[in-house]
């Protein structure tokens, strides 16, 4: 609990950091250092499979980032992803609707990487190959080097496409179920459509067909890095035609379905972070969300931020007495 600006979201961001080794607010670690200081550090103590896990993350302007598990430093920080599964819903999620396709790919890849280490490796390899290919295109193209990086781009790009396509197909029933529950069985029909250049053409053919264009523009214009998710209500685009309540319901259903999907895949109950999620929702939808997260046995530890203690206590006590309230001043 606390007024606007006192740091409630920072608490959630610290938890996010310890799961993903990065902030969900600021993409650059330097921006998370207190003004006038040289470093920051975070420590979390978790119970995982009845074992205590001590996680220490620190970042120094001069030394960079360090992540330790039980006092042992990770050789690769990416190896940590999945140990502490976590789902967050926050006002930042509006980017999924109104920003470019990169935000929606980030949602897809984050959802997959928490239970599929192979997808994370393919994503890292693809991005590395894409970076190198673009560098070559900016200079005088070397055919041998291009062919080498194209092979990496093709194999990893096709892996990303297949993984994302399967994820959406498996994810849709869960998403529709949560949307209907939150909207109390309304006639609204939500839709997620996966759009990719690889739907009708192989990655190899895409690169060959676009080579002249890529050479002129000096970057790779098509491939798995252009995939997108199209959000709709009925036949209408959500970002243009959905009300604020519908948009909020859509995003909440997306995150709760992601939670359920991850739990079913991993067998672990992720930590659920809900940052100011009851804003812009009517009382019926607030009640539906609270009942879902507090009465459904699949949900584990939940952190909720809110500005009004009386409102939140009323919401919680309708469904549970198993909660604690902390005030940030």
pLDDT at 287: 85
144-175, pLDDT tens digit by residue? Answer: 888 999 999 999 999 999 999 999 999 999 99
User: Where residue 103 falls among pLDDT bands split at 50, 70, 90?
Assistant: very high
Domain map of the chain by residue range? 8-21+81-317, 22-80
Average pLDDT, the chain: 91
Confidence of residue 185 (pLDDT cuts 50, 70, 90): low
Rounded Cα gap, residues 244 and 178, in angstroms:
18
272 pLDDT tier (thresholds 50, 70, 90):
very high
Query: How large is the average pLDDT for residues 244-271?
Result: 91
- pLDDT tens per residue, range 231-243: 998 888 898 887 8
Pairing of strands 271-275, 86-89: parallel
**What are the CA-CA distances from residue 129 to residues 73, 143, 158, 170 (Å)?**
27, 15, 13, 29
Structure token digits, residue 323: 């909660």
273 by DSSP, 3-state: which?
Answer: strand
pLDDT above 90: percentage of residues in the chain? 68
Cβ 249 vs Cβ 257: under 8 Å: no
**Any residues with CB less than 8 A from the CB of 224 and at least 6 apart, and which?**
126, 156, 157, 158, 160, 161, 196, 197, 198, 203
Single out the residue of 204, 107, 115, 119 nearest to residue 161, CA to CA.
119
Strand order in 190-195's β-sheet?
Answer: 190-195, 228-233, 236-237
8-21+81-317 has which CATH code? 1.20.1050.90
State the pTM of this model.
Answer: 0.88
Could you read off the pLDDT of 279-297 as tens digits, one per residue? 777 788 888 888 889 887 8
- What 8-state DSSP symbol labels residue 223? S
Supply the pLDDT for residue 98: 93
Residues 17-33 have a mean pLDDT of: 91
């Amino acid at each position: 609990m606390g007024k606007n600006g006192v740091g409630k979201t920072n608490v959630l961001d610290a938890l996010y950091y310890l799961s993903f080794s990065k902030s969900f607010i600021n993409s650059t670690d330097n921006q998370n250092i207190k003004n006038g200081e040289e470093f920051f550090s975070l420590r979390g103590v978790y119970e995982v499979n009845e074992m205590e896990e001590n996680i220490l993350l620190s970042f120094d302007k001069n030394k960079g980032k360090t992540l330790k598990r039980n006092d042992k430093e990770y050789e690769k920080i990416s190896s940590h992803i999945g140990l502490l599964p976590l789902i967050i819903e926050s006002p930042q999620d509006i980017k999924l609707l109104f920003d470019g396709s990169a935000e929606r790919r980030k949602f897809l890849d984050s959802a997959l990487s928490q239970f599929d280490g192979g997808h994370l490796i393919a994503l890292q390899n693809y991005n590395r190959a894409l970076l190198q290919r673009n560098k070559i295109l900016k200079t005088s193209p070397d055919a041998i080097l291009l062919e080498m990086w194209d092979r990496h781009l093709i194999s990893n790009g096709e892996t990303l496409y297949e993984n994302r396509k399967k994820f959406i197909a498996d994810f849709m029933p869960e998403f529709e179920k949560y949307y209907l529950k939150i909207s109390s069985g309304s006639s609204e029909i939500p839709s997620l459509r996966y759009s990719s250049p690889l739907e009708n053409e192989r990655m190899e053919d895409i690169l060959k067909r676009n080579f002249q264009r890529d050479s002129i523009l000096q970057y790779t214009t098509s491939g798995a890095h252009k995939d997108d998710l199209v959000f709709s209500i009925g036949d209408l685009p959500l970002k243009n035609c959905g009300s604020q309540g519908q948009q909020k319901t859509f995003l909440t259903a997306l995150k709760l379905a992601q939670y359920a999907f991850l739990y079913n895949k991993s067998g672990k109950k992720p930590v659920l972070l809900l940052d100011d999620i009851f804003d812009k929702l009517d009382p019926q939808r607030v009640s539906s969300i609270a009942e879902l997260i507090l009465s459904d046995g699949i949900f584990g530890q939940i952190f909720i931020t809110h500005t009004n203690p009386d409102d939140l206590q009323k919401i919680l006590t309708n469904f549970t007495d198993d909660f604690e309230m902390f005030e940030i001043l």
